[in-house]
Amino acid sequence: MANLPNSWKSSAICPYGPELAAGHYAWRPSCACALALSILGVLAPLSVLASGLPAPVAWSVALIAGLHGAWIVRRYLGAQPRHLHFPASGEARCEELPMIDLRVRWRGPLAFMDWRVSPNGRRQRLVFWPDRLDVATRRELRLAMRAREAALGRASVAR
């Protein structure tokens, strides 16, 4: 997938750019999500300090909350990119592993995707943020998911 064209230009602030080709998508950590997690990581210690806890306990818990927030942001930004493939016919794949029981839910511009790698395995989840899916790519992914549901014979409306 190294020769696939980029649909967005990378920047120095947010160096991750998704790759796009027909039926191929690349998930990468979202800079908007990292920013939101960073803000929460700063607000958590402030909230602890503003609580009614005794000063030694409040400062200890605030330090732990701040370190944990920084760890979460670093872990999120260090997540490996995931390459997804949704062929017109055949099974969807993530990193060459089958995506069993694939579900995509839309909440405004956010796309929540979850699936299993094996029939009894744990569910894996990805969230596509708006800074990772532009309007055209979001529309293409939505249409690809509708075409998959139609091909699989699943009901497209509530029963």
* Three-class secondary structure assignment of 90-118: CCCEECCEECEEEEEEEECCEEEEEEECC
Look at residue 156 and tell me whether its pLDDT is greater than 70: no
- The reported pLDDT for the residue numbered 86 is 81
Rounded CA separation 79/133 (Å): 18
DSSP conformational letter for 9: -
Q: What is the mean pLDDT of the chain?
A: 81
- The reported pLDDT for the residue numbered 5 is 37
Q: Is 73 left (phi over 0), alpha (psi -120 to 50) or beta?
A: alpha
Kindly report, residue by residue over 66-91, the tens digit of the pLDDT: 999 999 999 999 999 999 888 777 78
Q: Per-residue confidence at 54, pLDDT binned at 50, 70, 90?
A: very high
* pLDDT above 90: percentage of residues in the chain: 44
CA angle 149, 152, 154 (to 5 degrees): 60
Domain ranges for the chain: 33-77, 82-152
Look at residue 155 and tell me whether its pLDDT is greater than 90: no
Q: Which residue has the higher pLDDT, 140 or 147?
A: 140
Rounded CA separation 9/97 (Å): 28
Q: What is the CA radius of gyration of the chain?
A: 19
